[in-house]
Structure 1
């Protein structure tokens, strides 16, 4: 008798014959693969987006740097133009003084001598000579005014003297009362010719705006100085204006002042209110240098 072996050989089970536990494992493996592929795809897309953002940031930084460089070049160009304009004014002023003014003065002397040697019997000739002398005097005053506008001669007298003379001239021309005040420290400040000329031009433009637009009856100017900064305040009692109002396309007065002061590291602050007047504050750095410092020429 042949005994049947107890060991049995089982054929592999089909998918249908699998138990529910094996089916869940297979489905889980398939879901993990799909999820992993989706995460890889999202990661790749996110990397592409991040790379595009980085390139965009770099492009914006390059554009901002180019814009700053262009703005600085524009400021440098305007400063150069202002300096060139002042140099041209200085040259024209010197030529007017050395040629035209001197020739007019010599002509006046000749006319005066001719008038003195003309007898009273030639009254018509004396009248003609007197009229010619009057014309020469008018021309001399005109040339003197042009010289003062091109290159003020009072700059060599110092800051306070320059401001005081300009205020006196403005009062004579406009009838608007002006008052100058300041701290004693201003007299000890060492201001170069360029700084003095800048302050003078700013004051000149501000007074011109007061005369043309403010309807003011009084202007107060105050000068305050420290070891490293000069402050000039110009206050009027006029009708005022709104500084935030956009400027007119043909108005460059304040812009010109801003550029002048920017070239020296200074700033211009304009404060105004309707019917409450206008205040212009000018700050310009000058450095801790005293007028009587050894090795530096005196200016005042």
Structure 2
């Protein structure tokens, strides 16, 4: 939409520039430093109109306008309707069209157009000076010097190359901006997918475990089944709250509205451990000095522990789990160890692998190290090391 508005604002400039260029080319044809053309004046005016008027529609049809203005300028040079010493004026409309060709056309096509313009204009100027041999007009101002054809061709080439380079540079800047915009969208999608996976994956694992328990013991142990249903209710409500918080951030213009709760961090790990215990996995949680963690690092710590505990519930239960979160020396060390059965070879690895990839990405974002795998004595270990700066900037 912004690009369309920009073209709408620039179109009147082209409409004004076209007749101005007609007058400029006509003046150069009627009063040049070196008079070459001696035909009727209407021919010079017609030539000026044919060369300059298409500029008014160059934004709609840049390549056809370049062809018309370029051919018109070459014909005017060969006929001498624009006298020697001012030939470059006839090529200004073509340069304006060439700028848009370099901006909008594929690079190979725009380079071809540039080379064609340079060769055609150079040949036309060389023909004018070598065949028609212009001489200063009678009564010329003293001191007027007739430039050699390489000089005049060089001026035209400089105009053409400058216009093409400006268009190509703007094209590259726009391509870079578009690429960065696409990358930002992809990064945001990855961030959303990671957050949703962490929120929904953990909650659904607990709900699935408790629903299975309630289904099996509903007839024989109604009290424990009711307790399992209470855990399901609490877990689902907490997940909905987290999802609403995430969606609220995405919908906010500022990205972090003041009325939303802060993202979870190490302070919420005790609640996370309680939920895991409610799913039937005993958890020993030890936290050492995480009070000064930046918010983003704290969120990553929480999500890593959350995903590790989710995998324990899904793949290692029944098991006992130990969680250590230790901060010191500008880094956070996370270790989640269980003594369960681990992943059985026949189990699918898709969701588990996705969770491990998410944890690794969070650690890599801070330049840390991550490892996950079975222990020789049995069970599974997840270990992460996240360096950080007290200011909140990643190293």
Interval of TM-score (by shorter of Structure 1 and Structure 2): 0.3 to 0.5
Relative contact order, CA 8 A, sep 6+: which one is greater? 1
Q: Which has the higher helix share?
A: 2
TM-score, normalised to structure 1, is 0.44
